Structure 1
Amino acid sequence: MVSTELALAVTVVALGAFTVAGVLHARGRVRTLDDYVTARSTTGPAATTATLVASVMGAWILLAPAEAGAAFGGLPAVLGYAIGSAVPFLLFVPVGLRVRKLLPEGHSLTEFALARYGRSMYALVVAVSIFYMSVFLAAELTGVAAALSLVAEVPQAYTAALIGGFVLLYTAYGGLVASVFTDTLQAIVILPLLAVSFAGAVLALGGAGSLHAAATSADPTLLDPTFGPGVAFGVYVAFAVLGANMLNQGVWQRVYAARDDESVRRGFVVAAVAVIPLVLLAGLFGIASAALGLTADGGASVAFFLLVVEAFPEWVALSVVVLAVLLVASSADTMCNAIASLVTVDLARVVDAEGRTLGRAGRLLTALVAVGAAVVGAQGYSVLALFLTADLVAAAVFVPFLAGLWSTSLSDRGAVAASLVGLAVGIAYFPQFAPALAALPIPTPTPSFLVSFAGATIVSTAATAVAHVVGGEQADLGTLGAEIRRLDSPMTDGGVVAESGDGDVTAEGGDERGTRPTDGDDAAERTDGGVEA
């Protein structure tokens, strides 16, 4: 087994290298709060694709699909996961273009919720979005901490703390500018790992024929595309992933970061195509692990890494795990930056404060969330169970939320009611909540993930349709962006600003920066704030 000290040293070096890269790239490019939270109009199609795949997929692509293949239904479960992972990217093409049209100076999904609906739906969307992103971060830290513990007996708390600490360093300094840049590097370096690792593992374990025979002998349902539980999993995970990503502030940020509408179209469509084979490959690791009996004693959450350890020498296995650590960093920085942006944008709406105050408040909450996620990540929970818990809430809310992009009659109360009705159905059937519900003095339905997720989405959709028909409001969608102001509070790198004696905001070090133009003609000036391709 690889020594714990060596594994920790390599992990620190890898994380440190990407942290330095992110800080150096962001230096001089974060001039305003708007740069910090949106990196507006700076990424071309290729960079948009890279940052979407690396940030939204993250290390869960090595964790959840493999666990699904090993423990939730074999091949049909993996196929459903792959298709379900692509659908949100495709849906974001019309949604993203609509958002850019209605709120051209916007920053977040919560801004849209408040502008279109009102404070009730706004509060619900804020709570759901932050809850989802926090649990997402905790799930990823859980998985990679378990992987390093498996390979080198690194205490899980150490891994979670290291990743959380390094990610906070460069996201607090460079915001979305740093996040997009490191995502692009991580996509280029890490994602080919899947193909190479799987091909190498297949060869090392005797070839595809040998693994097929092992799977057929161990459990014929692993490769049966009609296996009922696997098909059911594939269906409900599609609902789960769709809802979660539509309420992911990290994705909304990348809609605004795209250079133009064509970058949105091409970036999201290519990401949708790319993610299908990636999820399939990762899921096949789980199927192979189950076929070889590696998950017989539990450990399905790290099925990918169990196969890597079985197939490769220790130093190769350590390299794969360290690369997985970097993949976690790519999604963790997205979640941290997304949470910081929500807080910053929302505070700017209700508090007349300077950039320093807003930036510090956003970073403080992000740090608290990261600490909480690290604590949860050290507990060793099921990665997929964590993801599904977060996804359930989003599955009930995303349709009422997005309907306001087109419906002019759906009211604030109607959207909230539709969301809560869907959520009630989802909770009633959700297996994770079954023990708590069983203690209540009321009849409870038979738990079912499929009924829970499909019910939450379908019921909330039906309720939204009813609310749309009976709604008495006539919202003027063309004026939604009228009160959205760009966050032009000056910031130096890392968001540190100082006040001069006369009250003007001046960057430390004597570099005074004025308010940036807001007429939309400064796109060329901003293109150095991110990665173009």
Structure 2
Amino acid sequence: MVSAATALGLTAATLAAFAALGVRYARGRVGGVEDFIAARDSAGLGATTATLVASVMGVWILLAPAEAGAAFGGVSAVLGYAVGEALPMLAYARLGPRIRELIPEGHSLTEYALARYGPVMYAFVLCVSVFYMFVFLAAELTGIASAFHLIAGVPRWQTAVLVGGFVLAYTAYGGLRASIFTDTVQAAVILPLLAATAVGAVLALGGTGVVYERVVAADPTLVDPTFLDGLRFGVWVAIAILGAELLNQTWWQRVYAAEDAATLRRAFPTAAVVNFVVVLLAGLFGVVARGYVDLVVDPTSPEYNASVGFFLLLLEAFPEALVLAVTLLALLLVASTADTLFNALASVVTADLPRLLDEPSDRTLTFAARGLTVVVAVAAVLVSLRARSVLRLFLLADLLGAALMVPLLAGLYSPRASEPGVVAGGLLGAGVGLAFYPAPVVRGPLSAVPLLGDALPAGSFLVAFVGAAGVSAATTLLAALVAPGRFDLDRLATAIRRLDDPGTGAGARTDGGGDD
């Protein structure tokens, strides 16, 4: 086992190096709030692709996909997870240019929701988006703290505070520009390191033939790509990831940070391919772990440990040098995602401050953005100290995202989509999803409601996510067909303005999305 002192020393040195890089790069480049939260038109093809890849690849890829492979259906479940991570990138290859065309001076999906639909949809989107991103951030810190505790016995609070503090140091100073730059460097280090880890792991375990034989001996269904349980998991988890990522402010920021629409059309598909391969490789480690480690894969068991299957395999079969390499990889993974989420969460609120304050200055907005980044970081560290699961932290937020993705994005294409219709679609979709959602965190409270508890159907993640997405999409479509008015999509370009525009003030984005 790696010593706690070695792990902490490695953590501090690695994070300090990236903090120094981020601060040095951002010096003189953050002239105001627009630079801090939008970094508009500043990233070329290479930087855009790198930040898209690095922002996805949090420490969760060493936990959640491996858990799926070990406990939820083997290879077929891992394939579904990998497809789910690729789909949002492919969707944004089309959505990104459309967003830039309709809202050239935008910043966030929440200001779009307000201008396109109105205050009710705005509040709905704000709550779901912030909830998802904050859960993602807390899960990242939870994951890295759990990994270091398992590998080296480091107290969880020490890891969470160290990671959160160093990442905050350069994110609060340099904003999105610093995040994109460090993402580029991190991607350049992470991808070769991940490839080397995979190759080293296979060699350490005896080669591909030996690995396959041991997995088959443990459970032959793990390597069956047509295994029905795995396919079911793959379908609903792909919908879950797609829904959540389409409401992730991270990608809306990068739509504007990219140099132009052509950059988006090339960068997002490239990132989709890379993300698919990375998640596939990471998930296969969970399948392999079943052949080498005594994993408890029954999620109802108090001894359940599939969520750390990758790290248990690491400690069981790998030399210390490889353990240290993966420790470094885990650090880079969490840093590349945490800085992105710190800035994304702060930017959602900052973009809306001109509606709440009386003609705030650019300096005031920049100060507020930095202050909000600190608040987000501290809150996430505190939550991570109490959380323990990683995969399940995402599921409820994913369900709400699946129910809201079509209603939100319909307004980019259909002038007949209206606030009553999309809100109804989101609520009905969420209602269906929650009714079938099998996890105790939802089913317990619902079961306690008189009359409602007895009427609840049998729980199923597949039905919950397919139902949430399908019902919300169908309701939104039907409402658009019967809507009496039409929204002029060209209004979005004038309703949403730069934050440093002298004409941007409390009245610039309060009229909502009425129909003509």
Report the TM-score when normalising by structure 1: 0.89
Q: Distance in 1 between matches of 2:471 and 2:189?
A: 42
* 1:366 shift after superposition: 3.3
1:421 is the counterpart of 2:433: no
Give the conservation status (yes or no) of the 8 Å contact 1:343–1:361. no
Equivalent residue for 1:358? 365
What is aligned with 2:498? Answer: 486
Q: How does 1:136-215 map to 2 (within 5 A)?
A: 136-215=136-215
* Aligned with residue 408 of structure 2, among 401, 406, 414: 401
CA distance in structure 1 between the aligned counterparts of 2:109 and 2:381, rounded to whole angstroms: 26
Q: 2:445 aligns to what?
A: 436
Q: Deviations over 1:79-132 (max 9, x none)?
A: 011111111111111111110000001111111111111111111111111100
TM-aligned CA deviation for residue 358 of structure 1: 2.3
Distance 2:133 2:106 in 1: 20
Q: Is the 1:355–1:489 contact (alpha carbons within 8 Å) kept by the matching residues of 2?
A: no
Moved more, 445-454 or 315-324: 315-324
What is the one-letter code of the residue matched to 2:483?
A: G
Alpha-carbon distance in 2 for matches of 1:164, 1:198: 28
* Aligned match of 2:4: 4
Residue identity in the other structure for 2:457: P
CA distance in 2, matches of 1:460, 1:363: 36
1:310 to 297, 312, 316: 316
Shift, 1:322, TM fit = 2.6
Q: Is the CA contact 1:48–1:258 (under 8 Å) kept in the aligned structure 2?
A: yes
Is the 8 Å Cα contact of residues 66 and 283 (structure 1) preserved in structure 2?
yes
Contact 1:354 1:489 in 2 (8 A): no
Cα RMSD, aligned residues only: 1.6
Residue aligning to 1:372: 379
1:384-399 correspondence to structure 2 within 5 Å: 384-399=391-406
Residue matched to 1:325:
331
Cα distance in 2 for residues equivalent to 1:253 and 1:372: 22
Contact 1:132/1:390 (CA < 8 Å) preserved in 2? yes
SS in 2 for 1:192: helix
State the AA in 2 paired with 1:370: A
Contact 1:85 1:242 (C-alpha < 8 Å) held by counterparts: yes
1:251-330 equivalences in 2 (<5 Å): 251-296=251-296, 297-330=303-336
Is 1:463 equivalent to 2:475 in the alignment? yes
- When residues 294 and 328 of structure 1 are mapped into structure 2, their CA distance, relative to the original with a 3 A threshold, is farther
String of CA shifts for 1:447-469, please: whole Å, max 9, x gaps: 11111111110000001001111
- Distance (Å, rounded) in 2 between the aligned partners of 1:488 and 1:440: 49
Match of 1:383 in 2: 390
Deviation at 1:368, TM superposition (A): 3.0
Change (3 A) 1:424 1:5: same
The CA distance in 2 between the partners of 1:299 and 1:367, in whole Å, is 33
Aligned partners of 1:249 and 1:339 also within 8 Å: yes
Give runs of aligned pairs for residues 10-25 of structure 1, distance below 5 A: 10-25=10-25
Who is 1:496 aligned against? none
Report the alpha carbon displacement of residue 355 of structure 1 after superposing the two structures with TM.
2.9
- Rounded Cα–Cα distance in structure 1 between residues aligned with 2:371 and 2:31: 20
Contact kept in structure 2, 1:294 and 1:307, CA below 8 Å: no
Output the CA distance in 2 between the equivalents of 1:429 and 1:55. 31
Deviation, 1:318, is 2.6
Q: Which AA in structure 2 matches 1:440?
A: V
Question: What is the letter of the counterpart of residue 384 of structure 2?
Answer: G
CA distance in 1: counterparts of 2:363 and 2:72, whole angstroms:
48
Which range moves more in the overlay, 227-236 or 194-203?
A: 194-203
Residues 378-397 of structure 1 deviation map (CA, whole Å, 9 limit, x = unaligned): 23522110111221111111
For residues 372 and 431 of structure 2, the distance between their equivalents in structure 1, rounded to whole angstroms, comes to 29
Cα deviation for residue 489 of structure 1 reads 7.6
Does the C-alpha gap of structure 1 residues 378 and 314 become closer, same or farther in structure 2, counting only changes over 3 Å? farther
Offset at 1:294?
4.1
Alignment of 1:240-259 (within 5 A): 240-259=240-259
Please name the residue that 1:238 is paired with. 238
Kept after mapping to 2: 8 A contact 1:146/1:380: no
C-alpha contact (below 8 Å) 2:250/2:344 kept by paired residues: yes
Match of 1:97 in 2: 97
Q: Deviations over 1:36-65 (max 9, x none)?
A: 111110111121111001012322222211
Q: CA deviation at 1:233?
A: 0.7
From 455, 464, 489, the equivalent of 1:452 is: 464
Q: What does residue 227 of structure 2 align with?
A: 227
Equivalent residue runs for 1:48-59 within 5 Å: 48-59=48-59
Residue 523 of structure 1 corresponds to which residue in structure 2? none
2:514 corresponds to = none
Distance in 2 of aligned mates of 1:216 and 1:300:
18
> How far is the alpha carbon of 1:257 from its aligned partner?
0.6
**Compared CA separation, residues 489 and 300, structure 1 to 2 (3 A):** farther
How many angstroms apart in 2 are the aligned matches of 1:118 and 1:424?
A: 21
Flag structure 2 segments of 5+ consecutive residues without an equivalent: 297-302, 505-516
Distance in structure 1 (CA, Å) of the matches to 2:112 and 2:387: 36
- In the alignment, the residues of structure 1 paired with residue 332 and residue 432 of structure 2 have an alpha-carbon distance, to the nearest angstrom, of 38
2 CA distance for matches of 1:348 and 1:313?
55
Distance across 1 between alignment mates of 2:113 and 2:381: 30
Q: CA deviation at 1:167?
A: 1.5
Per-residue CA deviation, residues 263-283 of structure 1 (Å, 9 max, x unaligned), is 000000101111111111001
Q: Distance in 2 between matches of 1:24 and 1:43?
A: 17
Q: Is the 8 A contact 1:151 1:318 kept in 2?
A: no
Q: Which amino acid aligns with 1:451?
A: V
1:311-335: CA deviations, max 9, x gaps? 3222431331232112111111111
Can you list the C-alpha shifts for 1:282-321, whole angstroms capped at 9, x where unaligned? 0111111122234235322222222222232224313312
Q: 1:431 and 1:376 mapped to 2: Cα distance?
A: 24
Q: Which runs of 5+ in 1 are unaligned?
A: 491-514, 516-533
Distance 1:308 1:196 in 2: 14
Indicate how the Cα distance of structure 1 residues 65 and 8 shifts in structure 2: closer, same or farther if over 3 A, else same.
same
1:463-483 per-residue CA deviation (whole Å, 9 max, x = no partner) reads: 100111111221100121103
- Seen in structure 2, the aligned counterparts of structure 1 residues 62 and 100 have a Cα distance that, compared at 3 Å, is same
Matched, 1:344 2:353: no
Counterpart of 1:242, as a letter, is: L
Query: How far 1:180 sits from its partner (Å)?
Result: 0.2
Secondary structure of the structure 1 residue equivalent to 2:352: helix
Matches within 5 A, 1:67-82: 67-82=67-82
Report the Cα distance in structure 2 between the residues aligned to 1:192 and 1:71, rounded to whole angstroms: 28
CA distance, structure 2, for counterparts of residue 31 and residue 214 of structure 1: 58
Paired with 1:132 and 1:258, the residues of 2 have a C-alpha distance of 24
Change (3 A) 1:214 1:226: same
Following the alignment from structure 1 to structure 2, what is the Cα–Cα distance between the partners of residues 192 and 348?
44
Q: Percent identity?
A: 57
